[in-house]
Amino acid sequence: MLRADGKELIMARRAAYTKVERKNFSNPDHVKGMGDKTFRGFQCLEKDCTEFIFIQAETIDPDFHIECPTCGFVHQAGETTSLYDYELIDTRDNSEIESGPFEILHDDYVGESKEFKYCIVCGALKPFELFDTHRSRRTGRQGECRTCKQVYNSIKNQTRLVEQHREASQKRRLYTHFEERDKMDIAAIYERFGNQCFKCGLDLASDLTAGVARKEGNLDHTLPVFYLWPLTTNNATLLCREHNGEKAEKWPSVYYSDAELRRLSALTGIEYGELSGEPIFNPHALKTLEDPSFVEALFEKFARHPDELLRLRNRILRETGFDFLDTSAKISPDWKLQADALLS
Ligand SMILES: [Zn+2]
Ligand SMILES: [Zn+2]
Ligand SMILES: [Zn+2]
């Protein structure tokens, strides 16, 4: 069987002849033998109590009696908890039809609770949907959680998943330092874009609750945060999930057609020349990098995994000639050597 991608063929073959051996592994006592046990998890029904109760599903019989370990509230089969007193009103003449307690039956409450089980690798109690299905196991779920399985597979296939995810996480953390957000008017952004993805026109009106959008998930930085532009009412483009992912760090001129750039300029008020030109760093953000205490704080925060910070330094230096490693005399000159090493 020939595959178009030779590299994948080699990876697949190598994976078939590898195995991951575990050393220095042991499960804590409370997880031992628990891989196939189902737990139910629910918040204590006593309103003021914050306890989240986990109970082994096998021990919940039809006549259950579950006491909250924090407040002692008893969840008892056949019992109800009253949340308020209701009056049913006939709106034509405001007369009362009936009244009574608004109550929850404990059987319904416990019965609809979520299923959890322990991961036999990380030892965490997690909801069922975080485990892949496995027909022959008692829970119908695999022993290890999806995260642990992904890490396992990444070791086996040598795809370095954790490093990739850590890089993405460092990037998100680093760039939030330049996000001086105004109070965004999300509803105005949705209105501006007619509740549609700017790229494909997909209807995003389902993001609206009672006619108002509050979610930021489908908002894209028009001028990217990769160039230190914050997400603001004026710098937001409404994009569906797919096109948000596609646009990502790209400068508008790299991603949009000329007609789209003209339309985007009209909608956002950002000059056409800026959208269609070369990427430029946000000058206000560059100013903050002239503040020694800001730069020192960044280096303190990212000292353990500095690569993203140093890559940012390299990009700014290359494109503007400004080296924020020169901002503070307290920053060790060794960082320059490390940053230069990332260039090769
Ligand atoms: Zn309680
Ligand atoms: Zn796990
Ligand atoms: Zn789209």
Cα 165 to averaged position of ligand 3 atoms, centre (Å): 25
The number of C-alpha atoms within 13 Å of 101 and in the hemisphere containing its C-beta is: 7
Q: What is the pLDDT of residues 222-270, one digit of tens each?
A: 999 999 999 999 999 999 999 999 999 999 999 999 999 999 999 999 9
The identity of residue 211, as a single letter, is G
CA-nearest of 300, 198, 282 to 244 is 198
Cα 203 to averaged position of ligand 3 atoms, centre (Å): 9
108 sits in which H/E element:
helix 106-111
Residue ranges with CB less than 5 Å from ion ligand 3: 197, 199-200, 202, 240, 243
**The pLDDT of residue 66:** 96
Q: What is the pLDDT of residues 172-211, one digit of tens each?
A: 889 888 887 668 888 899 999 999 999 999 999 888 877 6
**The pLDDT of residue 191:** 93
> Which residues have CB under 8 Å from 263's CB, separation 6+?
198
| Residue 18 or residue 237, greater confidence | 237
Cα 232 to averaged position of ligand 3 atoms, centre (Å): 20
Q: Which two tokens stand for residue 24?
A: 């220095």
pLDDT tier at 1, thresholds 50, 70, 90? very low
pTM, two decimals, is 0.68
Q: What is the pLDDT of residues 123-181, one digit of tens each?
A: 999 999 999 999 888 889 999 999 999 999 999 888 888 888 888 888 888 988 888 76
Q: Which two tokens stand for residue 326?
A: 């020169």
Q: Please, are residues 226 and 235 in contact by the beta-carbon 8 Å criterion? A: no
φ and ψ of 14, to 5 deg: -65, -40
State the DSSP code for 333.
T
How far apart CA 87 and CA 98 sit, in angstroms, is 6
Cα 55 to averaged position of ligand 1 atoms, centre (Å): 14
